[in-house]
Amino acid sequence: FQEMGAKVVKVLDIREREQSYDPLMQEYIEECTGVFMTGGDQLRLCGLLGETPFMERVRYRAQLGEITLAGTSAGAAVMGHHMIAGGGSGESPNRSLVDMTLGLGILPDVIVDQHFHNRNRMARLISAISAHPDKLGIGIDEDTCALVEADGLLQVVGKGTVSIVDPGEISHTNQSLVGATDPISIFNLRLHILSYGDRYHLHQRVILLPDG
C-alpha cells in the first residue's frame, strides 16, 4: 500500500470481537482515508466485526464517501446485507447450491460473489438472487474491482469482468415450490457483463454508455 502512495499504513489485527469495541480502534477509523478488509472466511469477518461500534463507524464513513472501503475475496462478500456464506459451483441453480446469512450491510441492496467466472459461480449467484429478488447480484472476477462511488455509480477496473444479475423484472420463479436440489426456473432475469471502464448505476439499475 505504501508503494501505491499510502502515507501511513496501520494493520488492525482483530482476532477477538471485543477488540472491535476498543475506542482506540475507532480513533484509527476517524483518522484514516481508507480501509482494506482481508480475504479468508466471511463468516469469521462478520462474527468479529458485525454490529460493533468499529464497524458501525466504518459503514457510516464509507456510505458518506469519507473513506474508501475495499475488500478482497471474503472481504468483498461481506459488503451486502445478505451474504453468500458458502456453497457449490458449476451446477444448475438450486436452493442447496448456496448458503446465505447476514453480511455487514455496506451496500445493503446487493449480494456479492467473488472469484466469479474463475470458479464458475453464476448458478450460485442466481440461486441467491432467486431467494432475494429485491437485491441486485454482483459477481466479481479475480484481479478485478467493482469500484462503487457514494452515489451508487459502479465502474469496473482490472483484468476480468463484473457480472450484474438484475431480478427487477422477473415474471416468475419456482424457487419456493421445488425441492432443495431441484433446478430453479426464473423468467425474465436480466444479465450484464461489464469489463474495464464500463459503468453501471446501482440505484437506477442502468448501464451508462461511454461518452460519444
Annotated catalytic sites, by residue? 73, 91, 115
CA 110 to chain centre: 7
Q: Give the type of residue at 21.
A: Y
> What is the number of other CB atoms lying within 10 angstroms of the CB of residue 142?
15
For 33, phi then psi, to 5°, come to: -115, -5
What does the alpha-carbon distance between residue 45 and residue 208 come to, in Å, rounded to a whole number? Answer: 33
> What is the number of other CB atoms lying within 10 angstroms of the CB of residue 18?
10
User: Is the Cβ–Cβ distance between 132 and 101 less than 8 Å?
Assistant: no
For 112, phi then psi, to 5°, come to: -105, 135
